Amino acid sequence: MSAKKVHEGIAIDAMGGDLGTSEVVRAVALAFEQIKNLGPIVLVGKERLLVRLIKVAGLADEPRLSIFPATQVIGMGEKPIKSLKQKKDSSLVRAIELVKEGKCKAVLSCGNTGSLMAGSTLKLRPLPGVERPALAAVMPAKKELFLLLDAGANPIAKPEHLVHNAILGHHYSKVVMGKAKPRIGLLSNGTEETKGNELVQKTHQLLKQMGSLINYQGLIEGFEVFNNKVDVIITDGFTGNVVIKSCESLVLSMSDFLKEEIVKNPMRLTGALLSKGAFKNVKDQFNPDNYGGAPLLGLNSHVRKSHGSSNRFAIMNAIRVTQEVVANDYNSKALADIGKANEIIKKERAAAEPQLIAHQGPK
């Protein structure tokens, strides 16, 4: 391990996260121990602190680990654009820049979500043909995991943005999650053709024109989110973020309700002890720590956001998934389809313009 030595590996913002830098370093130690063929890792942050923590973790002689110094830290409550301008030597900014300069292949952070998304978008730029990136969340369901995007990156979306999300979600689900022909669904307030607001209606019509680019299944409603009807659920960032946070809140509330009811009666408590394994399995299934954080899709490089409260096991899983993503680059596979989708969108718009003029009548 040496300072300022940079490899083509994963750049980790070591100063981000609620549990502190020591938890990030412990996660890296677990990753080197448990992840097969793990590539180089660059820890970005305050050098003296990192050197000390790396020694404590027994990683001082690890050849795959290096430090890139950064003197500043962006706090969780700071405004994205302001923090990026005022803290150019922050661990988050420097980690993104390592990827921009081609010295690392991916960036991982548990820090400020807004700053990570804004910094990554500004410095790494969207893929050609993509206007806005999307935050994708891996979600548990009845039988298998599914992908929901956008989970909060772009709250004010246009129909073409959601079409891009469908293409990106298709390729991520196929390449990273192993789905042979991912089923795509558009979230609405009902499955009927007449349901949904203007954004949903226009997006629905465009998605139906995508042909073989995606396996579009049509509109899905809230009742169908967790029944594995589709593998990828598309929505705008505002709605997606509300869905994610509502689900997290519901899981925590149900856990509290169960605990309160169980302790009220000795017989229930006995039954709960006998069902301890089942409760643990359900808890593990809904534990976001197991799913490796959320990728920011649609950028020229790979960016992954882990929850601010991520512990060492959650961060280790994020490192594992990031390595898989780097090894199976879905961007190159998505680029051609993004171009084809944009051509279809242009044709649909051109066809709609004469109808709009005729409907409006002569001026």
- Average pLDDT estimate for 286-315: 83
Q: Is residue 130 part of a domain?
A: no
* Confidence band for 333, pLDDT divided at 50, 70 and 90: confident
On whether both 154 and 234 belong to a single domain, the answer is yes
Q: Tell me what the mean pLDDT of segment 259-288 comes to.
A: 64
Q: Of the given ranges (18-32, 78-92, 141-155), which has the lowest mean pLDDT?
A: 141-155
Chain centroid, CA 205 distance in Å = 26
Shared-domain flag, residues 227 and 149: yes
Q: What is the tens place of the pLDDT at every residue in 195-239?
A: 999 999 999 999 999 999 999 999 999 889 888 999 999 999 999
> Are residue 254 and residue 349 in the same domain, yes or no?
yes
Q: Are residues 224 and 77 in the same domain?
A: no
Q: Which contiguous run of DSSP H or E holds residue 218?
A: strand 215-220
Same-domain pairing of 343 and 222: yes
Strand partners, 42: 11, 66
Percent of the chain whose pLDDT exceeds 90: 63
pTM for this predicted structure: 0.84
CA nearest neighbour of 116 among 241, 4, 26, 12: 12
Give the domain range for residue 320: 1-125+299-329
Cα–Cα distance, 214 to 14 (Å, whole number)? 38
User: Three-class SS of residue 85?
Assistant: helix
What is the domain-level CATH number for residue 160? Answer: 3.40.718.10
pLDDT at residue 165, as a whole number: 96
Which is it for strands 294-297 and 134-139: parallel, antiparallel or unpaired?
antiparallel
Query: Are 250 and 282 in a shared domain?
Result: yes
- Beta-strand relationship, 65-69 and 41-45: parallel
Q: 272: pLDDT confidence band, cut at 50, 70 and 90?
A: low
Specify the amino acid at residue 201.
Q
**Based on the domain organization, do 116 and 36 belong to the same domain?**
yes
Whole-number mean pLDDT of the chain? 87
Within a domain: 12: yes
Let me know whether 91 and 145 are in one domain.
Answer: no
Q: In the chain, how many domains are there?
A: 2
Question: And the tokens for 341?
Answer: 């989708």
Q: Comparing 23-32, 98-107, 278-287, 327-336, which segment has the lowest mean pLDDT?
A: 278-287
Q: Is residue 100 located within the same domain as residue 157?
A: no
**CA 50 to chain CA mean position, Å:** 27
The answer to the question of residue 31 being in a domain is: yes
